Chain A
Amino acid sequence: MKQIKITNHQLYALTANGSLGGAVMIMASALTAIAKQDAWLSAFLTPVLGLPVIWIYWFLGSQYPGLTFVEITKKILGRWIGTVAAASYVLICFTLAYHLPWYISDFITTQAMPETPSYVISLLFVLAVVIAILYGIETIARVSELYIRFVLVMSVLTLLLVSPNINFENLQPILENGIIPVFKGSYFLACFILFPIITVLMIYPANTDNVSVAKKAIIKGFLVSGFIVFTSILMSVLVLGSKISASLQYPTYLLAKEIRLGIIFTRLEFIIAGTWIITQFMVAVLCFYAGLTGLSQLVGLKDHKRIVLPMGLVILLLSEIVFPDVIYQTSWISLVWLPYATTHGLFLPLLLLIVHQIKSKILKAI
């Protein structure tokens, strides 16, 4: 199969979308629960501390141009261990892919359309994802380029419009409980905006031309999404205060409800909901694509598009049963998702990097 190449700006858009993902809407709540009024500091630290991890992702890809992450894993760790590691990577991609329809249907049924059954919304969402995958990676990359501009403009606009409601006393006292909760919060945030970028590694070395220019694209994408997340969390703390933000499920949504500029600009909350749904869609497409291509390469399929439709059915049904309720979901996220994402987003690339360096040293010595 001929490899389709994507441009660097498309790679940047995919990274930004993939990193932004679920974070904008739900993160402010969990983060303010951990770091209280210093949540904005954690949101500032995550992009800074995340740069080395992004560098590891880029370096791994740059050493094996033209290969995907599954092939890189197999090449570095050998056939058997590599297959096991790659299989668990494919599994986390699918796990993410069937989590996202749940978030969308939960959000729509609790905030906008309470009488619609959740599977109808999941069905529409999964249908859109399946159609996107059937169109192929080139279309996905192009549409992500289009979406990221829309998302950027809309989030900056809503956050600017809400700024008259700022109350700076919400930020005080700074560092009340010391620096430790800030670091805890930034680790928590990293599991949502940093480690999911690992799914981009199914696209980045395989479908890009120039790896050294791709470095800039990935870092820029990550920083842009980090900036949006930072501003949205800062605004949540400034406008709503940390106590209210922590008790809500979707603080940024309420934040947009606060916009009141005269009688013209009111109730803009569905703009921010729309941008959230768009980024969720892009993340779902990315994860589903990464899982599908990873699975095809793992078992040696020629064409991943053949198994999209049955996989879509499985994803739809799993998204219906994945979390029985919101309480289960919150405890699962904090107890299970954090180590799960860390294993695949941090430890697996780190292990690959170390084994790669040892291997290349030995090869040089011989």
Chain B
Amino acid sequence: MAVLSILAVVLFSFVLSIVEIPKMLKQKLYKELVIFCLFLMFGTVLAVLKSLDVKVPIPSDLIAWIYSPLAEVMKSITK
């Protein structure tokens, strides 16, 4: 199952790159290319880690850490 989902995601990224990157190069959209590659790589790596059941840091934890000073106030509001 893990191998299958990794293969699916890698195939998706591969096909997407083949289709999209030449188009962007032709239209000289270099900024788009950088953002595109960054997010595609991020997504693929995340998918592989998720398929291998690696514990990934949760983005919600980061936001929770930023707002942790307000936790006591919020507890009094929602009680």
Residues of A in contact with B (beta carbons under 8 Å apart): 30, 33-34, 95, 184, 187-188, 295, 299-303, 306-307, 309-311, 313-314, 316-318, 320-324, 328, 332, 334-336, 338-340
Contacts of A301 in B (CB 8 A): 29, 31-32, 35
A188 close to B40 (CB less than 8 A): no
Q: Known contacts A314-B46, A318-B59, A332-B60; decide if A299 and B35 are in contact (CB<8 Å).
A: yes
**Distance of B54 from chain A, by nearest CB (Å):** 10
Interface: B18 (CB within 8 A): no
Give the distance in Å from the alpha carbon of A17 to the alpha carbon of B21 in the complex. 35
Interface size on B, residues (CB 8 A): 33
Identify whether the interface residues of A are mostly helix, strand, loop, or mixed. helix
23 CB < 8 A contacts A-B: A34-B79, A95-B63, A188-B78, A299-B35, A302-B29, A306-B20, A306-B24, A307-B32, A307-B36, A307-B39, A310-B36, A313-B40, A317-B50, A321-B50, A321-B56, A323-B58, A332-B60, A335-B74, A336-B63, A336-B67, A338-B78, A339-B70, A339-B74
B20 close to A309 (CB less than 8 A): yes
Contacts of B32 in A (CB 8 A): 301-303, 306-307
Contacts of B43 in A (CB 8 A): 310, 313-314, 316-317
Contacts of A188 in B (CB 8 A): 77-78
| Docked complex: B64-79 residues within 8 A CB-CB of A | 64, 67, 70-71, 74-75, 77-79
B12, B47, B60 interface centre (most CB from chain A within 10 Å): B60
A335 close to B75 (CB less than 8 A): yes
Contacts of B67 in A (CB 8 A): 335-336, 339-340
Q: Which residue of B lies closest to A343 (CB)?
A: B67
Give the distance in Å from the alpha carbon of A317 to the alpha carbon of B41 in the complex. 12
A34, A188, A307, A318 interface centre (most CB from chain B within 10 Å): A307
**Distance of B7 from chain A, by nearest CB (Å):** 15
**Distance of A127 from chain B, by nearest CB (Å):** 12
A313 close to B47 (CB less than 8 A): yes
Contacts of B29 in A (CB 8 A): 301-303, 306
Interface: B16 (CB within 8 A): yes
**Distance of A220 from chain B, by nearest CB (Å):** 30
Q: Which residue of A lies closest to B42 (CB)?
A: A314
Give the distance in Å from the alpha carbon of A17 to the alpha carbon of B55 in the complex. 35
**Distance of B74 from chain A, by nearest CB (Å):** 5
Q: Known contacts A306-B20, A309-B20, A310-B39; decide if A336 and B60 are in contact (CB<8 Å).
A: yes
B78 close to A310 (CB less than 8 A): no
Contacts of A306 in B (CB 8 A): 20, 24, 29, 32, 36
B47 close to A310 (CB less than 8 A): no
B74 close to A334 (CB less than 8 A): yes
**Distance of A301 from chain B, by nearest CB (Å):** 5
Contacts of A339 in B (CB 8 A): 67, 70, 74
**Distance of B23 from chain A, by nearest CB (Å):** 8
5 A-B pairs with the lowest CB-CB distances in the bound complex, closest first: A313-B43, A310-B39, A310-B40, A334-B78, A306-B32
Give the distance in Å from the alpha carbon of A180 to the alpha carbon of B64 in the complex. 26
Contacts of A328 in B (CB 8 A): 60
**Distance of B49 from chain A, by nearest CB (Å):** 9
A322 close to B58 (CB less than 8 A): yes
> Can you list, as one digit per residue, whether each of B4-38 has a CB less than 8 Å from chain A (1) or not (0)?
00000100110010001000100001011001100
B35 close to A307 (CB less than 8 A): yes
Give the distance in Å from the alpha carbon of A185 to the alpha carbon of B23 in the complex. 51
Give the distance in Å from the alpha carbon of A170 to the alpha carbon of B61 in the complex. 38
B59 close to A322 (CB less than 8 A): yes
Give the distance in Å from the alpha carbon of A340 to the alpha carbon of B59 in the complex. 13
B70 close to A321 (CB less than 8 A): no
Contacts of A34 in B (CB 8 A): 78-79
A317 close to B46 (CB less than 8 A): yes
Q: Which residue of B lies closest to A295 (CB)?
A: B35
Contacts of B13 in A (CB 8 A): 313
Q: Which residue of A lies closest to B28 (CB)?
A: A302
